């Protein structure tokens, strides 16, 4: 079991460096997993361990600990109404704003991409919209997450069919190939269209050279503490082109008072020009 000092150290560490909003009374399952983590890694005292690794984020054990609190909950085309809005309204509006340039350079970011289902859903939607023309334009997805374990799964692009309903399997069949044990893998040319990278939304700055036209950041900000959430919102807005779109979870709202935006539907916002 964890001591009171160890529990407090874990909460303070994840709060400060990753912005997570953890309760002082950790859930029993989290306490159990932390106890297992100590045993597996032969750690005598978690408080001492975290103090020694306070700024050492190259140690994979730090991310193993973090994964205890990052429970991936995602699926393909989650909240399909937003994906319909993405195809029918958001993509056409973005393209209309590019008419004067006579080129298509559509930049999209999936922030908090978890195990990749959202990123591949975005890619399938794009390929459905553009058809064969997709391969002639500049597009693709930047997909980021703080969990290395989730990013490894996303990069492989292999998913169990038993976790998909029939409609989803049919929709992605054109873009996948069958693997062993009832699994599907996204084809190599599709996987190459997603650039999976590690990124902590609690970082002071985001390492992007160009701004995005569309950002998906769904059901991520609600897990951050108040200060980290507001800071992340501001950095996300700074990463978005004027007139660009943000997708949040249905139950999420933008709190930033430093930027002007228009709400288009549940969890869908446009940054004012």
Q: Is residue 90 over pLDDT 90? A: yes
Contacts of residue 203, Cβ cutoff 8 Å, sequence gap at least 6: none
* pLDDT value at residue 159: 94
pLDDT confidence of residue 187: 97
Report domain 80-271's class: alpha beta
pLDDT at residue number 28? 86
Q: What is the pLDDT of residues 55-87, one digit of tens each?
A: 666 678 888 888 888 877 788 999 899 999 999
- Portion of the chain with pLDDT greater than 90, in percent: 49
Residue 100 has pLDDT above 70, yes or no: no
Task: State the pLDDT at residue 99.
Answer: 66
Q: What is the mean pLDDT of the chain?
A: 89
The rounded percent of the chain whose pLDDT value lies above 70 is 96
pLDDT of residue 102 exceeding 70, the answer is: no
Model confidence pLDDT, tens digit, residues 155-211: 999 999 888 889 999 999 999 999 888 899 999 999 999 999 999 998 888 989 899
DSSP for 107-156? -EEEET-TTTHHHHHHHHHHHHHHGGGGGGSB--EEEEES-HHHHHHHHH
Summarize pLDDT for 238-255 with one digit per residue, the tens: 999 999 999 998 888 877
Domain(s) labelled CATH 3.40.50.150 in the chain stretch across 80-271
Contacts of 106 (CB under 8 A, 6+ apart): 91, 94, 95, 98, 126, 137, 138, 139, 213, 214
Lowest mean pLDDT, pick from 6-10, 33-37, 77-81, 95-99: 95-99
Residue 264 has pLDDT above 70, yes or no: yes
Q: Do residues 271 and 240 touch, judged by C-beta distance below 8 A? A: yes
Segment (H or E) for 82: helix 80-85
């Amino acid at each position: 079991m964890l001591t009171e000092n160890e529990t407090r150290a874990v909460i303070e560490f994840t709060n400060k460096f990753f912005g997570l909003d953890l309760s002082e009374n950790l859930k029993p399952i989290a306490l159990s997993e932390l106890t297992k983590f100590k045993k597996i890694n032969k750690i005598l005292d978690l408080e001492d361990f975290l103090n020694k690794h306070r700024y050492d984020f190259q140690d994979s054990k730090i991310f193993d600990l973090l994964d205890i609190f990052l429970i991936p909950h995602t699926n393909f085309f989650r909240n399909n109404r937003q994906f319909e809005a993405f195809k029918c309204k958001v993509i056409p509006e973005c393209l209309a704003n590019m008419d004067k340039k006579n080129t298509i350079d559509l930049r999209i970011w999936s922030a908090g991409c978890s195990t990749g289902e959202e990123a591949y859903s975005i890619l399938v939607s794009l390929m459905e919209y553009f058809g064969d023309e997709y391969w002639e334009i500049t597009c693709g997805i930047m997909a980021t997450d703080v969990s290395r374990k989730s990013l490894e799964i996303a990069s492989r692009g292999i998913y169990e069919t038993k976790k998909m309903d029939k409609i989803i399997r049919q929709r992605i069949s054109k873009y996948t190939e069958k693997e062993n044990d009832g699994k599907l893998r996204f084809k190599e040319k599709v996987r190459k269209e997603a650039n999976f990278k590690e990124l902590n939304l609690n970082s002071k700055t985001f390492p992007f050279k160009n701004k995005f036209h569309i950002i998906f950041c769904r059901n991520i900000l609600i897990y951050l503490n108040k200060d980290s959430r507001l800071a992340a919102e501001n950095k996300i807005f700074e990463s978005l082109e004027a007139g660009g779109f943000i997708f949040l979870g249905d139950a999420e709202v933008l709190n930033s008072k430093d930027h002007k935006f228009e709400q288009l539907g549940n969890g869908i916002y446009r940054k004012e020009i």
